[in-house]
Amino acid sequence: MSVTKYESQLREPLVNGDKTYGQVTQDIVNTIEAKPTRLWYIGFYVSVALLMFGVYSVYREVTYGIGQWNVNRTIGWGWDITNFVWWVGIGHAGTLISAILLLFRQGWRTGVNRAAEAMTIFAVMCAGQFPIFHMGRVWMAFFTLPYPNTRGPLWPNFNSPLLWDVFAISTYFTVSLLFWYSGLLPDLATVRDRAKTKLRKHLYGVASFGWSGSTKHWQRHESLSLVLAGLSTPLVLSVHTIVSFDFATSVVPGWHTTIFPPYFVAGAIFSGFAMVQTLMLILRKVMNLQDYITLGHIEAMNKVIVLTGSIVGCAYLTELFMAWYSQVPFEQDIFFKYRIAGPYGWSYWLMMTCNVISPQLFWFRKLRRNVLFTFIMSIVVNIGMWFERFVIIVSSLYRDYLPSSWSIYYRPTIWEVGFYLGTFGLFFTCFFLFSKYFPVIAIAEIKYVLKTTGESYKNDMSTLENKEVDEFVHEMHDHHEEGAVKVVHH
């Protein structure tokens, strides 16, 4: 049988086991067709409970005012915006995997892209709650939209980074959603075609937009994917850049820093991959998808984590250097007296430990391929990245220019924490529903790479691998001429 592409056996397989197309479909669609497990129900109800608590926390805040939180005259933003930046950051891994890795033709993305994109969408949904509900008068939130009105017309302030956020986040959400959904179409059609009940057939039929699997459909689908990947790629860089502008364009010492855009983007990818790891490790275990999300996938993502973690570490050190080099006393004070030390010094060192020191352990291949270690690290990194945002926001604000206004110690109220927990509820509720009703791995894309990178197919490459170099080159040349390599399947 023929394959479209030769891949060296030196690259490890992306699909383990001896899989056929039918088996791939069966393995992945199984979770949709079978009744959910007890574990699924427990997880789902816990998530819904968290979501409800979050809804109540937000209800309190909207009804009684932001005074339900402990932010104050000096620390105007606390947990709210920390959580916002954290969630937005998490989303970035999904976009990076689906867009940039697609453009770079990284085959390993196929195992994780679907779930990672879903994570992006849910994370952005969670992120969006914070800038909306941190408003004192959330019922007037529509003032931020540039719509024609009878007040002059009165436009929003295009100089404000918060307004840029409105555009950046909404664009990001729209493009991510389109990308994710268009990728889902062939798989939804697969579920439709296998459906045994009328309702399921109907619902998946509607959801798959009449996908028939014709060549024309596939061709358009591929083109659309490329266009969306092209659109998403700059978003990976721009969204967090704009989020960082909220801080970088201000006058607050500790915020007013030109390094923020690259530093935030690296941090976002860092935390995003950590979150993908957390989710994937659970998913592959619970849904028995170890063959599709392999140690190779995990290792690849760990490599991204160690790279971006090191970039972030460099950024931290650069900040310190610049604070000293600038000779601006306010900058120096905030970094050297009130971040590294002072009442919030612990949060700085927690951030440093989680984000800079511990990911360095991923230089060891053994640890990169250790599932338990990776899982723990993925949590550690996300704790660290949460504290990074906390350090930037709170430890810059609490002691800024006028010592007279320095803040008392800021601790969140139960409703502030509740809002955060609520977004976890939202995230996991969505994710559980997604894992139940959607194929969590892109079936079509796995099939696309199956015959070059599937374990059993790779084994078949031995005949090619064993050839002399001259012969091999000749064969490959022929392959290019003919468009296919002939391999005999036993």
Partner 1 sequence: MSKHIQFESMLSLTGSNADDRYVHRPSEAGAVALALYAALGGAVAAPALADERLKKGIAQAAASLKASGSASVVVSGSNDANVQLVVNAINQLLGAYGNSINWGATLNTRQGDDAAMVQLVNEMNEGKIGALLIHGVNPAYDYFEAKKFESGLAKVAVSVSFNDREDETSVRCKFQIADHHFLESWGDAEPKSGYLSFIQPTISPLFKTRAFQTSLLKWSGENTSYGEYFKQYWLTKFGSQAAWDKALQDGVVETPAAAAAGSYNSAALAGAVAAIAAAKPGTGKEVVVYTKIALGSGKEANNPWLQEMPDPITKATWDNYAIISFATAKDLGIAVDDNYEVEVAKPVIKLKVGQQEMTLPVLVIPGMHKDVVAVALGYGRSEKTGKAAAGVGQNAYPLVGFNGQSFTYSVAGASVEGTKETFKLAYTQTHNQYEGRDEVVREFSLKEFKANPTALKDERHKLVEDYAPTTGDYRAEGTLYPNHPYPGAKWGMSIDLNSCIGCGACTVACTAENNVAVVGKSEVLRAHEMHWLRIDRYFATYRDDSGNDNLDDLNVVFMPMLCQHCDNAPCENVCPVNATNHSSEGLNQMTYNRCIGTRYCANNCPYKVRRFNWADYMGADSFPDNQRGKLDDSVMMMNDDLTRMVLNPDVTVRSRGVIEKCSFCVQRLQEGKLKAKKENRPLETGADGKWDIKTACQQACPTNAIVFGNVNDKNSPVSKIRNEEQTNRLFYSLEQIHVLPSVSYLAKIRNTDRHVGVAEAAHHEEAGAEHKEEKKAEAAH
Please give the residue ranges that form the binding site for partner 1 (CB under 8 A): 63-67, 70-74, 76-77, 131, 134-138, 140-141, 143-144, 154-157, 159-163, 166, 246, 249-252, 329-330, 333, 342-343, 397, 399-409
Q: Which is nearer to partner 1, 16 or 70 (CB)?
A: 70
- Residue 150 or 197 with smaller CB distance to partner 1: 150
Give the closest residue to 243 by CA, choosing from 335, 166, 309.
166
Residue closer to partner 1, measured from CB, 27 or 165: 165
**Nearest approach, Cβ of 411 to partner 1 (angstroms)?**
10
Report d(CA 264, CA 161) in Å as an integer: 15
Place of tokens 């976002």: 268
Closer to partner 1 by Cβ: residue 307 or 417? 417
Rounded least distance, CB 326 to partner 1, Å: 13
Amino acid at 90: I
Q: Closer CB to partner 1, residue 162 or residue 357?
A: 162
Nearest to 122 by CA among 177, 183, 186, 50: 177
CA 170, CA 235: separation in Å to the nearest integer? 11
Instruction: Return the number of the residue (117 or 246) whose C-beta is nearest partner 1.
Output: 246
Q: How far is the CB of 27 from partner 1 (least distance, A)?
A: 48
CB nearer to partner 1: pick between 153 and 483 = 153
Shortest approach of partner 1 to residue 425 CB, angstroms?
A: 25
- What is the residue type of 10? L
Which class for 369: exposed (0-12), middle (13-18), buried (19 or more C-beta within 10 A)?
A: middle
CB 16, CB 290: distance < 8 Å = yes
Q: For residue 106, give Cα distances in angstroms to 12, 98, 99, 304, 331.
A: 13, 10, 10, 13, 42
Q: To the nearest whole angstrom, how small is the minimum distance from the Cβ of residue 441 to partner 1?
A: 40
Tell the residue number behind the tokens 């010094």, with chain if given. 345
Non-local CB neighbours of 443 within 8 Å, separated by 6+ positions: 24, 25, 28, 29, 186, 187, 190
Choice between 394 and 441, CB closer to partner 1: 394
Q: Write out the two tokens for 370.
A: 């250790």
Min dist. Cβ of residue 131 to partner 1 (A): 8
If you write DSSP's letter for every residue of 265-321 in order, what string do you get? HHHHHHHHHHHHHHHHHHHHHHTT-TTTS-HHHHHHHHHHHHHHHHHHHHHHHHHHH
34 in Cβ contact with 196 (< 8 Å): no
We find the least distance from the C-beta atom of residue 136 to partner 1, in angstroms, to be 2
Closer of 38 and 409 to partner 1 (Cβ): 409
The least CB distance from residue 399 to partner 1, in Å, is 8
- The 10 Å Cβ neighbour count of residue 187 is 26
CB of 208 to partner 1, least distance (A): 39
Tokens for 106, please give them. 């990284």
CB of 416 to partner 1, least distance (A): 12
* CA proximity to 231, closest of 159, 192, 182: 182
Looking at the Cβ atoms of 107 and 343, the one nearer to partner 1 is 343
